[in-house]
Amino acid sequence: MRSNLATFAAHLRERFAVWAAAPESALPETEFNALALDLFALQFTANPAYRRLCEARGQTPDRVRDWRAIPAVPAVAFKELELTSLAPCERTRVFHSSGTTTTTPARHFHSAASLALYEAASWPWFARHLLPDRGTRPSRWLALTPPPALVPHSSLVHMLETTRLQSGMRPAQFTGEPDAVGAWSVNVDRTRAALHNAGADGEPVCLLGTAFNFVHLLEGLAQGGTRLVLPPGSVVMETGGYKGRARELPRAELHAWITRALGVPPTRIVCEYGMCELSSQAYDRVADDQCAKAGSAAPARHPTPVTRHFQFPPWCRVTILSPETGHEAAEGETGLVRVFDLANVFSVAAIQTEDLAVRRGDGFELLGRARHAAPRGCSMQAAEIATAQSPLP
C-alpha cells in the first residue's frame, strides 16, 4: 500500500494517459480492486467526516475486501459535510454543484495537487472521445459557457479550460455569461460571428456546452433566420443539464436540431456526463469520421443510428443499484448510478448519485434524475450526518 494520498495521486497521474489509450486492457479487476482498497484505507485515515460515516455503518478497511463494499457517500452529502482530506490551509479551490446562488451547493474542495490530478484525469479521456486520432480534427475551440474567471466554482468550466489549454486550438473563446443569480446565458451574436468565421475560413470547430446552452443558441439562430454549416471535422460536446430552465428537449430532438442548424452529423455529437463531486467524466461515444462531412445534407435527412451508452475511464467503476433492493441491477435493468472514481483521491472515491440509468454491459444508458434518489439501505439519515459532523474523539 502506498504510504499517503500524495504518493497515491502521483502514481495515478503517471498512469492515466496509458490507461486511457488502451482501456480494454487497462486495470484488470484484481489491480483495480487492490488500488481501491488502498485508497479506501488512506481516505478512512485522512478524511474525518468519511471515517465517521464508515464507522457508523460498521464498514472499515479491516473488514472490506472488495471495492463494491466500500461505503459510498450520497452526492447530496457534499452539501452538508466537508468530505475532504485537505486541511483548510491547503484548499485553494472549491467546485460547487450547478444551480443558482439561491440554492445550497455541494462542495468539492481542491488543492494544487488535487487539481493537477483532476486535469490529468480529464484530458486523455476527453481527447479519446472528442479528438480521436483518425480523421479530421477541429482547429478552433468554442465553449458556450462563461469563462473560468466569471465562474471559478464550476468544475465543468475548469474541465473545459483544461481541454482548451491541452488541445492548443486557436482561436479559443467562451461566449457564455452569468446573470445576477448565477444562471448562464449565451451571447448569441458573439457565437454566431465566431462560427460564421470558422465556416468562412474552412476550419473545423470543437463546440462545447450544456444542453440549455445549445437550446439558447439554436433559438437565437432561428430567430435571426441563421443556418450555419460548420466545416467537416467539427465536433459538438453536449453535457446535458437544464437545471429547471423553462424549456427542456429530449436528447434526440436536441441533437437533430443541432444537425439541422449547424450541419454537424449525429456521429459527431458526443455527450458528456460529470458532476462536481467526481474528478473523472464519462462519454457516450467516440466522434466518428465515417459520416463527418458536416456540410453534407445526407446526415440530416438520413441520420446514422447512434448507440449512446456512457462509459467512464478505466480508473473508474460504475454499478447500477436497484432502488428497491439496494443490490446491483442486472443487464437491461434500471437503477441508480454509483461511481467509484480513483481520481477522487483527496475527497471520497465512492459516490452514490441521484441519476437513474439502465445497465448496458460495462456502460450505462442515462435516463435522468430520480425523484427518490437513495437506494434502499443506502440513504444518509440525519443521524449519520450528525455523526459525521461531530469531532473525532
Structure confidence by residue, pLDDT tens digits, 138-194: 999 999 999 999 999 999 999 999 999 999 998 889 999 998 887 899 999 999 999
Report the pLDDT value the prediction gives residue 99, as an integer from 0 to 100. 61
Query: For 224, phi and psi rounded to 5 degrees?
Result: -90, 0
Per cent of the chain over pLDDT 90 is 74
Q: How many CA atoms are closer than 13 Å to the CA of 41, on its beta-carbon side?
A: 16
Cα separation, 41 vs 61, whole angstroms = 5
Range of lowest pLDDT (36-50, 241-255, 303-317):
241-255
| DSSP label at residue 178 | E
- Amino acid at site 208: L
Range of lowest pLDDT (52-56, 178-182, 194-198, 283-287):
178-182
Residues 181, 102 contacting (CB under 8 angstroms):
yes
Cα separation, 161 vs 71, whole angstroms = 32
Given a cut of 80, whether residue 53 has pLDDT beyond it is yes
Q: Kindly list the distances between the CA atom of residue 46 and the CA atoms of 50, 67, 318, in Å, as whole numbers in the listed order.
A: 9, 18, 24
Q: Where are the domains of the chain?
A: 1-89+314-392
Given a cut of 80, whether residue 234 has pLDDT beyond it is yes
Cα separation, 8 vs 352, whole angstroms = 23
Q: Is the peptide bond before 171 cis (omega within 30 degrees of 0)?
A: yes
Cα separation, 70 vs 61, whole angstroms = 8
Q: Which residues, 6 or more positions from 48, have their beta carbon under 8 angstroms from its beta carbon?
A: 392
What's the mean per-residue pLDDT of the chain?
89
Structure confidence by residue, pLDDT tens digits, 296-319: 434 444 445 556 899 999 999 999
C-alpha cell at 336: 441508480
- Which residues lie across from 273 on neighbouring strands? 282
Given a cut of 50, whether residue 294 has pLDDT beyond it is no
Mean pLDDT of the 256-268 span: 96
- Going by pLDDT thresholds of 50, 70 and 90, the confidence category of residue 243 is low
Q: Which residues, 6 or more positions from 223, have their beta carbon under 8 angstroms from its beta carbon?
A: none
Strand pairing report for 334-341 and 350-360: antiparallel
Supply the angle between the helices 5-21 and 112-130 in degrees, to the nearest 10: 10
Residues 341, 278 contacting (CB under 8 angstroms):
yes
Q: Kindly list the distances between the CA atom of residue 161 and the CA atoms of 96, 126, 165, 172, 173, in Å, as whole numbers in the listed order.
A: 16, 12, 6, 10, 10
Secondary structure element (H or E) that encloses residue 336, with its range: strand 334-341
Supply the angle between the helices 48-57 and 382-389 in degrees, to the nearest 10: 130
165-172, long-range: CB < 8 A, 24+ apart:
166/119, 166/123, 166/127, 167/127, 167/131, 167/141, 167/206, 169/138, 169/139, 169/140, 169/141, 169/206, 170/139, 170/140, 170/141, 171/140, 171/141, 172/140, 172/141, 172/142
Q: The pTM is what?
A: 0.90
User: Helix (H, G, I), strand (E, B), or coil: what is residue 365?
Assistant: strand
Report the pLDDT value the prediction gives residue 133, as an integer from 0 to 100. 75
